[in-house]
Structure 1
Amino acid sequence: MTWDPVWEEVFRQQAWGKYPGEDLIRFVARNFYKSESRKDIKILEVGCGPGANLWYMANEGFQVYGIDGSHTAIEQAQIRLDSECPNWKGQLFVGDIGTLPFPDEYFDAVIDNGAVTCNSHENSILIYSEMARVAKKQGKLYSRTIAKGSWGDETGEHVGYDAYIVDEGPLLGKGYIRFTKYEDIEKLVSDFTIQEVQLLSREYMDVKKTVKEWVIIGEKK
């Protein structure tokens, strides 16, 4: 199972983001806003959580599919979509993002917004490979993942390759976290052609710490 049960408690106890990030909106807009029929565009988010990204994409008229290991997260996403996106199209699943319950070449885009980074290097390669399997030829990839050197890196318990149960910063209490080196990105998403890599940085000036994340944009080979 490529999912840490700690997230069940996180979703139960904490309010989560209600709106998508600007970089994800830009990705969807750039690739799909000019589509002839948005209702025919199918987008999958792995580790979708309570569904902020799905809510946005459903409101824009796309078919949305989400999978998460947390029953609580999927329940919250279902409630929000049903109440705020009348007649939305798609489906939600509780399941393992390493074994996706979809046929080959089904989705126009696959999205990971900070879920794969909660898995080991080896499992992450398998997850990205599964995402490629279910993506159409030339289907798009969006992945946002914690970068090496981000706040929390090399703190707490070392549990794998560049992976820690951190003991400080925003990732405290979030379980297994893998920090990605730039040179490892191509190995992780080898089934995709990388089109763009951005480094997002958020400074916490009071403690002189920085949260760093890669945004990886790709296309299935």
Structure 2
Amino acid sequence: MGFSKEWDDLYRNNRHMSVWPWSQLVSLCLRHTPLGKKEGEYQVLEVGCGAGANLPFFCSYSDQVYALDGSEHIVTLLKERFPSLASQIKVADFTKEIPFTEQFDLIVDRGASVHNDTASIARYLSNAYTHLKPGGHLIITDWFSTEHGYFDSGTSIAQDHLTKYGYETGPFAGVGKVHFFDRATIMTLTEQFDLIHLEHQITQVDGIKEQGASWSLVLSKPE
């Protein structure tokens, strides 16, 4: 099923246009990978890069930064914003292909693959594994947890009860598919990788009834 057209519509309507690097992602990259210790040599790919919030962070450590997004509109804007990376930013559905010949030291997925069904996520993880160098890392944040307050809302996709759609209110309104993970599912989907770090975060914001809950992972390809 792959990329949801809803995201292209959101970008065209100037929504989800984050421009600042996500602090959790920055922390995981600097704590668990050699990023910052191999200046100019470290090859980084961000899948589902959106409006490019994390690209300046990666570019501060390497000139070999690549990015993919399914939205032609957002990729056009990114090429204008980062002209030095224009040939390294492409429109693609990363659940179907990663259209680069490079092998990467680091692949980053901040809240991107979570908007797919289980079969598409499994296919994406296989693609990522193929495109990682031995010893390379895959960092994933914002895989929503089954303990999230919105897990019991929405409509499940047929034969895939962990993937929901049809949210009309709340944080998932208008975003298409949303996948929710439990620990067992994560372990099954990532079994070909070495698991370096697994974090489950539950948040409760005062005044908001539904709690948030998400997973973050650091994986590596065995050498």
Query: Under a length normalisation based on structure 2, what TM-score does the superposition of the two structures give?
Result: 0.89
Instruction: Report whether the alignment pairs 1:134 with 2:134.
Output: no
What is the match of residue 34 of structure 2?
A: 32
1:2 and 2:12 aligned: no
User: Comparing 4-13 with 206-215, which one deviates more in the overlay?
Assistant: 206-215
Given that residues 107 and 132 in structure 2 are in contact (C-alpha distance below 8 angstroms), is that contact kept between their aligned partners in structure 1? yes
Aligned equivalent of 2:150: 152
Equivalent position of 1:188 in the other structure: 189
Map of 1:102 onto structure 2:
100
Whichever residue aligns with residue 129 of structure 1, its letter is S
Correspondence 1:37-76 to 2 at 5 A? 37-76=38-77
Q: Which of the numbers 140, 143, 167 marks the counterpart of 2:140?
A: 143
CA–CA separation in structure 1 for the residues paired with 2:129 and 2:35: 22
State the Cα distance separating 1:88 from its structure 2 match: 5.5
Amino acid at match of 1:152: Y
Tell me the CA shift for residue 33 of structure 1.
Answer: 4.3
The number of residues matched between the two structures is 215
> Residue 12 of structure 2 aligns with which residue?
12
Q: Partners in 2 of 1:175 and 1:97 — Cα distance?
A: 17
After superposition, where does 1:80-91 map in structure 2 within 5 Å?
A: 80-82=81-83, 87=84, 91=88
Alpha-carbon distance, 1:15 to partner:
4.7
1:32/1:38 contact within 8 Å kept: no
Distance 1:43 1:162 in 2: 30
The unaligned stretches of length 5 or more in structure 1 are none
Secondary structure (helix, strand or coil) at the match of 1:132 reads: helix
Aligned-pair identity in percent equals 24
Gaps of 5+ in 2: none
When residues 60 and 90 of structure 1 are mapped into structure 2, their CA distance, relative to the original with a 3 A threshold, is farther
* TM-score computed with the length of structure 1 as normaliser: 0.89
Distance 1:178 1:209, change over 3 A: same
For 2:48, the aligned partner's letter is: G
Are 2:106 and 2:138, in contact at CA under 8 Å, matched by a contact in 1?
A: yes
Cα RMSD over matched residues?
1.9
